[in-house]
Amino acid sequence: MTFTANPPKAIPEKRQITTKPRVSDKIFRGVLTVMSMSSLLILTLIGLFLSLRGFQAFQTQGIGFITKVDWTAGVDGSPDTFGLGAMIIGTLIISATALFVGVPLSVLTALFLTFYAPERLKRALVTLVDLMASFPSILFGLWGFIVLMPMAEYWAQLIHKYLGWIPIFGMPSPAYTRSPFIAGLVLAIMIIPIVTSVSREIFNQTPLDRIQAAYALGATRWAMIKAVVLPFGASGVVGGAMLGLGRALGETVAVYSVLNIVFKVNFQVLYGFGGNIASMIVGKWGEASLTESKALLAAGFVLFVMTLVVNLLANFIVRRTVKTGK
């Protein structure tokens, strides 16, 4: 490499030093700020459009839209009754089943992956869990319908046989197919990846010194987990479970494929009918009149608000746990 002599012709003028951003930066910052507001815009629009278009239903039904349990479109001018109650109850029952089955399994898996599994197995299993999270929901629906259903019916019969005296496991007449229990099982499998990965993240944050202190005091592995990890991670696991709940509340296709959707209140999880808001919207959509469509949009608004609240609460809990470790 050669250096060409290039003597300065004149001493350059002293540059002005300023902290004011230049024009290009101003534009840059402006564009980023505006774009970052897109999420605000979209969320506002979702809330606005669904509530505005569904306003008619809220107006005519009042609070009954949420509390009533009857959904009939009026025929020939007779008044409609749109009460979402049965589907709200159905949504909660299915999601509760999913949490009841899915969360303990996920926590066990997370503990196993964090503290028990050998490194190689751990890597393979973590990949599998991530993979599971990327499966399309219609796959779960199809699989639940074809593969899980026959097995789950048998389990349901066993549960009814031995625990039938508990009211929720009751059965007016034997109909085990397409029950909320089976839909709940499918949802349980669907929420396992998210609950597991959040729990694992939290368990991984357990301070090492506390773990070592427990071992130094002679604790077995389980005693250490019970004394250190679980108290540390409990609220994080609750947050993870709520993220799972958020997912379970809004699940549509998988529930629709598995569940026998009937618009009635059904507290008996093993009995073969039920519904949730999301699958009801899909189910009723096809033959809905304009008025009923608007009521379905209002139902969507209710679902939107429910999931929003659950998710924000969950994120709040998880972030607090990750930050402060309490």
Contact code string over 52-81 relative to other proteins, x by CB under 8 A: -xx---------------------------
Binds other proteins by CB under 8 A, chosen from 66, 227, 238, 253:
253
Give the residue from 211, 261, 244 showing the smallest Cα distance to 105: 244
Binds other proteins by CB under 8 A, chosen from 38, 78, 173, 324:
38
Burial letters for 227-258: b for 16+ Cβ neighbours within 10 Å, e otherwise?
bbbeebbebbbebbbbbbbbbbbbbbbbbbbb
What residues between 265 and 324 interact with other proteins by CB under 8 A? 278, 281-282, 285, 293-294, 296-297, 300, 303-304, 307-308, 310-312, 315
Locate tokens 């494929």: which residue?
257
What DSSP character marks residue 213?
Answer: H
Q: Provide DSSP, 279-320.
A: HHHHHHHTT--HHHHHHHHHHHHHHHHHHHHHHHHHHHHHHH
| Residue 217 interacts with other proteins (CB under 8 A): yes or no | no
| Residue 95 interacts with other proteins (CB under 8 A): yes or no | no
| SS3 assignment, position 119 | helix
CB of 40 to other proteins, least distance (A): 5
What residues between 138 and 197 interact with other proteins by CB under 8 A? 138-143, 145-147, 154-155, 158, 189, 192, 196
* Cβ atoms of residues 160 and 270 within 8 Å: yes
Binds other proteins by CB under 8 A, chosen from 83, 240, 246, 272:
246
CB of 249 to other proteins, least distance (A): 7
CB of 137 to other proteins, least distance (A): 7
φ and ψ at 274, to 5 degrees? Answer: 170, -155
The window from 20-28, 163-171, 174-182, 267-275 that contacts other proteins (CB under 8 A) reads 20-28
Spatial neighbors of 250 by CB under 8 A, at least 6 apart, are: 278, 303, 307
Binds other proteins by CB under 8 A, chosen from 2, 4, 16, 36:
36
CB of 135 to other proteins, least distance (A): 7
Binds other proteins by CB under 8 A, chosen from 92, 117, 159, 230:
117
Binds other proteins by CB under 8 A, chosen from 45, 163, 166, 217:
45
Spatial neighbors of 310 by CB under 8 A, at least 6 apart, are: 242, 245, 246, 249
